[in-house]
């Protein structure tokens, strides 16, 4: 696991230095590990494991919005797994389960691809509907229609700066909505 952890730490350092390709690679690399941990946690709590994708996205969003709390001098994996555990516990509690997530649910799993029986994640899409109009339009354009920031700005006749701001605020608002469920 040593090699993997070091790779993640390097990618996150590059991401912090402004390399968004490294950032995307990092998020892609951690996703199968988060998915496996989420499935394991759900199974332990006696919950259907096909809902893991919502938890994975919840964790990714928290990682994104809280990445400034990672200490670049420290390894990335313990920070990531702390956030993942927190989010998993949160989800299970919201469903009225009192559960203790095993420390190693995330750290000691074999990465798992989205299994065919996994339900598509619906939480993000559902909360998207409730965002203020501008934020919703920007997020839909970038997330659903895969448009770039530049194209989105043109399509909505906004400046690129305004699109960036709306995107960031929209993601923060999304996180707030997911917390309050």
Partner 1 sequence: MDTDQFIKTLAADAGQHERPAGQALAASLLVALPVSAAMLLSTIGLRPDIRTAMHNPFFDLKFVVTLALALSAITVALHLSRPEATARGWRLLLLAPLAILGLAIGGEAMQPQRTSMLTRLLGHNSMLCLTAIPVLSLPLLIAALIGLRRGAPSNPTLAGALAGMIAAGLAATLYAAHCVDDSPLFVATWYTLATAIVAAIGALLGRRLLRY
- Taking CB under 8 A as the criterion, the residue among 3, 20, 117, 157 binding partner 1 is 20
Size of the site for partner 1 (CB under 8 A): 48
Centre a 10 Å sphere on the Cβ of residue 75 and count the other Cβ atoms it contains: 15
With CB under 8 A as the contact rule, the residue among 48, 72, 78, 132 that binds partner 1 is: 78
- Give the integer Cα–Cα distance in Å for 41 and 49: 8
**By CB under 8 A, is residue 36 in contact with partner 1?**
no
Taking CB under 8 A as the binding criterion, the range among 2-10, 42-50, 98-106, 146-154 that sits at the site for partner 1 is 146-154
Q: Is 60 in the site for partner 1 (CB under 8 A)?
A: yes
**Nearer of residues 45 and 59 to partner 1, judged by Cβ:** 59
**The 3-state secondary structure of the chain, one letter per residue:** CHHHHHHHHHHHHHHHCCCHHHHHHHHHHHHHHHHHHHHHHHHHCCCCHHHHHHHHHHHHHHHHHCHHHCCCCCCHHHHHHHHHHHHHHHHHHHCCCCCCCCCHHHHCCCCCCCCCCCCCCCHHHHHHCCCCHHHHHHHHHHHHCCCCHHHHHHHCCCCHHHHHHHHHHHHHHHHHHHHHC
Can residue 61 be called a binding residue for partner 1 (CB under 8 A)?
Answer: yes
Stretch that binds partner 1, among 4-12, 37-45, 61-69, 97-105 (CB under 8 A): 61-69
Under the binding rule (CB under 8 A), the answer on residue 83 touching partner 1 is: yes
- Interface residues with partner 1 (CB under 8 A)? 15, 18, 20, 23-24, 27-28, 31, 53, 56-57, 60-62, 64-66, 68-71, 74, 78-79, 81-83, 86, 90, 114, 120-121, 124-125, 128, 139, 142-144, 146, 148-149, 164, 167-168, 171, 175, 179
């Amino acid at each position: 696991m040593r090699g993997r952890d070091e790779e993640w730490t390097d990618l996150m350092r590059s991401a912090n230095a402004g390399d968004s390709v490294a950032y995307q690679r990092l998020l892609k690399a951690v996703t199968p590990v988060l998915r496996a941990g989420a499935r394991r946690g759900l199974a332990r709590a006696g919950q259907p494991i096909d809902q893991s994708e919502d938890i994975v996205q919840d964790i990714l969003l928290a990682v994104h919005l809280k990445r400034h709390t990672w200490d670049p001098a420290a390894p990335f994996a313990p920070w990531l797994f702390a956030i993942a555990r927190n989010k998993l516990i949160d989800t299970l509690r919201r469903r009225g389960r009192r559960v203790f997530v095993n420390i190693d649910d995330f750290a000691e799993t074999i990465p798992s691809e989205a299994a065919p029986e996994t339900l598509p994640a619906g939480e993000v899409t559902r909360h998207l509907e409730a965002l203020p109009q501008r934020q919703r339009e920007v997020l839909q354009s970038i997330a659903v229609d895969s448009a770039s920031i530049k194209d989105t700005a043109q399509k909505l006749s906004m400046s690129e700066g305004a699109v960036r701001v709306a995107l960031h605020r929209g993601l923060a608002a999304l996180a707030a909505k997911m917390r309050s469920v």
